[in-house]
Structure 1
Amino acid sequence: MNNQLTKQIFSLIKLNNKLIAVESPLQQRPRLLTNLACECQRLDINCYLWTLEDDALHQLFTNHKGLTLQIVDQYQTIAKNRREHYFEILRFWKTTHLEGILILEGIFPWLGEQTSDPDFFLTSEWIKSALINLKLYNHSCNKTAILLGPNATVSSDIAPEVPTLIQQLPTIEEISTYLPQVLPDYSQVEIHAIAIAGVGMYLADIDYGIRQAIAPEITPDELVEKLSVYKIELFKRIYNIQFLQPPATAIGGLELMQQAFKTYKRLLTTLAKAYNLRLPKGILLIGPPGTGKSYSAKACSAKLGLPLIILEWGSFRSYGNLAEYKLKNLLALVDRINRVILYLDDFDKGFTLGDDLSKRLAGMLLTWMQERTSEVLVIASANNIEWLPPELTRSGRFDEIFKVDLPNYGERHEIFKIHLARFDPRFRNGGDGYTEQEWKRLLKATQRCVGAEIAAIVERAAVCCFCQMFGDDVSPRKELPPLEITLSALLAARQSMNPLAIREADKVESMRNIATLQGQPSSPIDSSIYSLGNVDIFG
């Protein structure tokens, strides 16, 4: 079992700390309580647990069956006679002859910053005062109170009096040490593979994921795959993020940015570390919507072979007062996974209001980016860089800023071929279904179309050609004829769409101009055979 947190707690107790805050996730609670009770029994110290839910005091014991709880009648009698509120336990522990460790579960919500609710405020202040008095009164007694909860947020007025410990996610070594208890018949190599799949989860989550996936005929490789799927679902529920393994992503154009990705891959090698070279602290992609910023992050994941975490930065605002707690946990997760890409999508939208919450979240992110030692590549995308605080865009935070612009003729040609290959076999394996003149006609018709709009044009054309090939009632066939997308279908699909860069020409041009001033180009000058022709910005 992972006893690191238990060791830290008892180290603080030996230093005569009478009040300790411990942040531990709910799923790890039984394991932590068992570890504390075991250590207390070893040291011949009584261990008690009080929970807000039932306002009952229990003494904790461990045996070969696990953790057992025995109710303390003395507290029940006294509390019943003089109960004024649910926190009578604080007065009881200050005056009782009982000694040892008291674990108080569920008290943190009253220990945060001040609130406008007068009743809540009075209760909160009484609890804070009672805790401080508890510490002073029991200074020479063998009594320690441990405040336990999933979010150990303590207001600044009492924070100096309460040292805080946080249960960290287990390392891959700790997971590898634990797994043989669950999978005794697995080899060391198989254990290591499963431990890699479990990085980023607590031991309780790994245990649950394995027991959910395990079956009599399952192979170790299948278990790794199922545990990875469970982890992705868990991350979505807990952190509201997408966790993607390196995808097989083809990207059209943006050669300069792709060249930078190759450089980042070399910086991940041990040789680069030997020369004290590192990844950039952050990369910022700026430009109009739909130009391929999110797609570029996936391409970077594929190029580097690193998993990708996608986070909508503006979504943290929905957590309100819990936003900083959520961000702290997410950054701890990213650090523990280590070699991963953190992609902050629509980064600028989190700063539109410019309020205190935005500034606090930005401050947390900046501090983490500046001080972290993990090999995490941070990529953020923004449509409007002027919404970002200036301190975010200076060197040392986002070391490289790329302008992701409207695709030129050659890039549109590559993007079209990538999407056409999804439906039309003529464009697969380097093939081509159109003549040079047909391409020039199509590319001229799609001036100022971004990658997302090109994908939509191809999909509409594919649907049109499919409907032309088959009627309403189609009998089953042994061999399906290939779907060939015609140039006329693509041109018709283009005519049915009004690109954003034409509809909102002023806004898009403003974004492009600002991006040109702030960022370096992600594409070289178009040197393809399709680069000729007059450009009419009004299409």
Structure 2
Amino acid sequence: MKNSARDLLSAYVDSLYPIIYINHFDFKVIDEIITDITDNRKIVEYNNGLGIVDFKAKSTMKECDLYNFLNLVKDDGYEHDMFIVLKDVHSQLDKPEIVSLLKYIAERNLYNENYNASVFIISSKLCIPDELEDLITVFDMPLPSVSEIKNIMVNFTKDLEIDVADDVLSEIALSFKGLNEFQVKQILNLAYQDGGYLDFDDKRLILSQKEQLIKKAGLLEMIPVNESIEDIGGLENLKEWLYKKERVFNQLDKAIKFGVDIPKGIMIVGMPGCGKSLAAKATAKLFEIPLVRLDVGRLLGKYIGESEENMRKALKLSEAISPCVLWIDEIEKAFSGVGSSGGASDVTTRLFGQFLTWMQEKENTVFIVATANDISKIPAEFLRKGRFDELFYVDFPNDEERRKIIEIHLKKRHKWNKDLDIISLVKLTSGYNGADLEAIVKDAIESCFIEGREQLTTEDLKSAQKNIKSISSTLEKRIKEIKEAVKDMDLKPATQSEMTFEQGEKPVKTIRDRFEESRKKHEESRKKHEESRWPWTVILKE
């Protein structure tokens, strides 16, 4: 990581890039890289709040403000080849006098053969004044690759003289992907202090630390997940597809080595209230990875370029916490106005382009789940082959699916009993979505409670149904428009063909059986690994 950063930074300096903005928090790491590429240049450092600082000793030499410092060193580039290192000065880059001096130094570095002074601005906050935009190059410190992370872990285990199996190192290294070296070492120390060893269970610790990154940034929302794939009534094709991807995510390192492509994500389009959001949550639960929601509205800023910078940070953050599910709910609203001109539409169009480019080029384990009601409002570029692994269409639940949905909600509230005639209710609820059916169950249970009865009856459910209109009747025109929009599109149905009540159980049982089988194999793999550990490590664990 440091070698690649050093080579790239050295290339920028040799190519006369006048101002290099290093967006990073760890000054010690940056100082080491700058030292490596100094090549006998003079280095002068200014630290906001401290003044002029000795670059090597880090002692304060003289207290002064940034203007006086720049004024003092601006012509030193004629006498020495030099680096001007400015730390945490982002809050002063909006001052005209500071901009003028930086521009003075940059232009001489570019156009005067007798002048050589490169400026490094180092700060964890990116703030680029419009006047200097063409003169500043933003340098992102490359994050360590999986192999580099594995080397960090190997050195860590050697220093502490602990033995860790190679497959454990590979799997945990993959979980660390997206974190910088400082963060990796911190979590390794925490894991070691917690148990005195490293194993598969430390993936949970890594996840909890990644959650902290989300909370501090405030650009993404961590969604708690309690819903499982078994909470979805129907959508058998979608569930079967997710089950296959789960096998990949639970053995990512092995899958990648085998040559399997990392799953990109899915788009789920269709009727409102039919389980699209539930599917996003169940996906994260099934894959055993965190669910984060991207709200594009949260990224919009009031300053020029702020929205784009927020999008860049949000996507970078999602990579840092990967593997994860990145959920974009009602994506047609998130990117509404794309292609229009003027004001907010221009910003949205730029954000959309930025997101598309990231989707196309990403090689990380961020699994995207995009949900949408109205596909006609989604730009065509978004639906192009290769953006998503699959596009699913969710229609209103058929008879068998409605029966399952009703039973799921009854059992979740402990009100299922064998005397209930669910089929008779199913026949009354054609055109109802999952949310409508849940409302019927909730209303019936509430009435039962108010009347002081212990057992729910079929009549309670039918009475509740009479008071709740289906979405297909209340939004009839809107539903027709949605169906018309998807009619000619190549979308895979999330539901299997219409099933009779007698046929209904088989697909669900098959998926459940496979799901449990996968879980058992995963647990067996963990147990075998534990048995193969060095005896003293097992004793230490106990």
Identical positions, percent? 21
Please report how far the alpha carbon of residue 363 of structure 1 lies from its aligned counterpart in structure 2 after TM superposition. Answer: 0.5
Give the one of 57, 64, 73 matched to 1:93: 73
TM-score (norm 2): 0.73
CA 1:195 to 1:455, structure 2 compared with 1: closer, same or farther past 3 Å? farther
Q: 1:70 & 1:323 partners in 2: Cα distance?
A: 38
Counterpart of 1:352 in structure 2 is: 336
CA 1:449 to 1:237, structure 2 compared with 1: closer, same or farther past 3 Å? farther
The answer to whether 1:514 aligns with 2:485 is yes
Q: 2:237 & 2:132 partners in 1: Cα distance?
A: 53
Q: 2:107 & 2:262 partners in 1: Cα distance?
A: 49
Listed as ranges, the matches of 1:285-296 within 5 Å are 285-296=268-279
The answer to whether 1:490 aligns with 2:485 is no
Deviations 1:331-356 (A, max 9, x none): 33445666544322121112334401
Counterpart of 2:163 in structure 1 is: 187
AA paired with 1:9?
L
Whether contact under 8 Å (2:266, 2:389) holds in the other structure is yes
CA 1:396 to 1:224, structure 2 compared with 1: closer, same or farther past 3 Å? closer
Counterpart of 2:418 in structure 1 is: 433
CA 1:454 to 1:2, structure 2 compared with 1: closer, same or farther past 3 Å? farther
Counterpart of 1:5 in structure 2 is: 5
CA 1:289 to 1:162, structure 2 compared with 1: closer, same or farther past 3 Å? same
Please report how far the alpha carbon of residue 6 of structure 1 lies from its aligned counterpart in structure 2 after TM superposition. Answer: 4.1
TM-score (norm 1): 0.73
The answer to whether 1:147 aligns with 2:121 is yes
C-alpha RMSD of the superposition? 4.3
Number of residues of Structure 1 aligned to a counterpart in Structure 2: 484
SS of 2:430's partner is: coil
Counterpart of 1:70 in structure 2 is: 59
Counterpart of 2:506 in structure 1 is: none
Counterpart of 2:280 in structure 1 is: 297
Q: 2:363 & 2:146 partners in 1: Cα distance?
A: 17
Counterpart of 1:252 in structure 2 is: 233
Whether contact under 8 Å (1:243, 1:308) holds in the other structure is yes
Q: 2:145 & 2:211 partners in 1: Cα distance?
A: 18
AA paired with 2:30?
L
Q: 1:272 & 1:220 partners in 2: Cα distance?
A: 22
SS of 1:170's partner is: coil
Unaligned runs of 5+ in 2: 339-344, 504-542
Listed as ranges, the matches of 1:114-153 within 5 Å are 122=96, 126=100, 129-136=103-110, 139-140=113-114, 143-152=117-126
CA 1:177 to 1:24, structure 2 compared with 1: closer, same or farther past 3 Å? farther
The answer to whether 1:525 aligns with 2:497 is yes
Please report how far the alpha carbon of residue 450 of structure 1 lies from its aligned counterpart in structure 2 after TM superposition. Answer: 1.9
Q: 1:340 & 1:217 partners in 2: Cα distance?
A: 25
Deviations 1:386-434 (A, max 9, x none): 32223223334356432212212211111122222223285xxxxx734
Counterpart of 2:398 in structure 1 is: 408
Q: 1:371 & 1:378 partners in 2: Cα distance?
A: 14
Whether contact under 8 Å (2:227, 2:285) holds in the other structure is yes
Deviations 1:66-111 (A, max 9, x none): xx522234x84xx7xxxxxx43433332223576432123455787
Whether contact under 8 Å (1:383, 1:511) holds in the other structure is yes
Q: 1:342 & 1:206 partners in 2: Cα distance?
A: 22
Whether contact under 8 Å (1:24, 1:149) holds in the other structure is yes
Listed as ranges, the matches of 1:495-506 within 5 Å are 495-506=466-477
Counterpart of 1:284 in structure 2 is: 267
Q: 2:52 & 2:4 partners in 1: Cα distance?
A: 26
SS of 2:479's partner is: helix
CA 1:400 to 1:506, structure 2 compared with 1: closer, same or farther past 3 Å? same
Counterpart of 2:342 in structure 1 is: none
CA 1:88 to 1:498, structure 2 compared with 1: closer, same or farther past 3 Å? farther
Please report how far the alpha carbon of residue 528 of structure 1 lies from its aligned counterpart in structure 2 after TM superposition. Answer: 1.8
SS of 1:421's partner is: helix
Q: 2:209 & 2:257 partners in 1: Cα distance?
A: 37
Unaligned runs of 5+ in 1: 62-67, 80-85, 112-119, 427-431, 471-482, 532-539
SS of 2:59's partner is: strand
AA paired with 2:53?
H
